[in-house]
Amino acid sequence: MSHDIDLPDLTERRVQTEDLLQGHFLRVVRDTVALPSGAQSYREYCIHPGAVMIIPLLDETSAANPTVLMERQYRYPVASHLIEFPAGKLDPNEDLLHCAQRELMEETGYRAQYWAHLGCIHPCIAYSTERIDIWLARGLTQGQQSLDADEFLTLLPMSVTALQDHFLRGELTDAKTVSGLTWLEHYLAGRVQVQWLDAAGKVFP
Amino acid sequence: MSHDIDLPDLTERRVQTEDLLQGHFLRVVRDTVALPSGAQSYREYCIHPGAVMIIPLLDETSAANPTVLMERQYRYPVASHLIEFPAGKLDPNEDLLHCAQRELMEETGYRAQYWAHLGCIHPCIAYSTERIDIWLARGLTQGQQSLDADEFLTLLPMSVTALQDHFLRGELTDAKTVSGLTWLEHYLAGRVQVQWLDAAGKVFP
């Protein structure tokens, strides 16, 4: 923030890390931390490799109300079918754009000609290191999905207004997807300057 | 969704639950699940009691651009100072409105006369049961904060446009707060019908 200089430093400093869990999927640690007061406390959190989310502009015939490519999946921890933007975790040493292209292709079968980075979110700041980088994708062409063996999803093209209606009915509850909608709304309102890249990651004029 | 009837049932059914971790703060389990294909897989996730987030309208002199009461905290898992709406976890058997009132008072010192439920989000659908219910609060009066011993935060009143600027600079990265901004923007645009309650939870005409 531009006025950071006026704000207190509340940094908590690591004293010690203890491994609590290495599951098939989740890794959890407990850090002993020094608080700003000098006292000590514990922070328990999941170690996450980072992820990307893609906002795929499937049809821009209506510039103000494009069609975006959504997914509908069953999410076991919340026992619901949810509508989401395509997303997935970074592989080791994978760069963000490569991950976005791979996840879009694996989950939806689509490739995109042009890519722009919008921003990032932290879904779970109290107990996960996860960061999700959000990409806008356009110039889509259809190919073959290649889902993981335990991944089941339905592709759901929706206009932005239909997505907003879903949100306003209280049914769009995935926080990364709601955050993506916010970025998309500000983009469509002309409030976001983006830098388009081609599929090789080169700046596109 | 209104067209649920046309969409496939991708429900994953629990076969068995195994406790993986009971930390000071985090509880993690691993469920064996039956996939829609009939095959089995594992889902590991945090058990969370649920939470509330409050959007406190601090000054509505400008109806289109009210001042909201934000907090700035250091969030250890993401190693950053972040700006957030006030939020906190449900106590056992606590109702949502009581929790919202308690958290607003504890974290900010403010009480609100009127409350309206906006919606809910799931911050981390892949590995947490957490659900955050979002409340709008108005008619604020100041009192005394009572923070937990390991809780340090700075109160930061901001206009909605200042919050949007922070978002557009890419600095508002807490997904619950971005989701709250989305609800607030749609509310201010007149697209959300809310039911105001008084502080006792009675419908306010």
Contacts of B130 in chain A (CB under 8 A): 124
Nearest CA in chain A to B42: A24
Helix (H) / strand (E) element for A119: namely strand A110-121
Does residue B2 have a pLDDT over 60?
A: no
Query: For chain B, which residues make up each domain, given as ranges?
Result: 4-46, 51-198
Q: Which of B1, B43, B171 shows the shortest C-beta gap to A171?
A: B1
Rg (CA), chain A: 19
Residues with Cβ within 8 Å of residue B151, at least 6 apart in sequence: B73, B107
Q: What is the pLDDT of residue B102?
A: 97
Rg (CA), chain B: 19
Q: Which residue has the tokens 């292209």?
A: A101
ipTM: 0.96
Number of Cβ pairs < 8 A linking chain A and chain B: 224
For chain A, the maximum distance between any two Cα atoms, rounded to a whole number of angstroms, is 59
Contacts of B76 in chain A (CB under 8 A): 12, 31, 33, 43, 45
A105-141 pLDDT tens trace: 999 999 999 999 999 999 999 999 999 999 999 999 9
Entry pTM: 0.96
Contact call for B76 and A12, based on CB within 8 A: yes
The CATH superfamily assigned to B51-198 is Nucleoside Triphosphate Pyrophosphohydrolase (3.90.79.10)
Which one is predicted more confidently, A151 or A68?
A: A68
Q: Please list the residues that pair with A143 across neighbouring strands.
A: none
Q: Is A77 helix (H, G, I), strand (E, B) or coil?
A: helix
Q: What is the pLDDT of residue B6?
A: 79
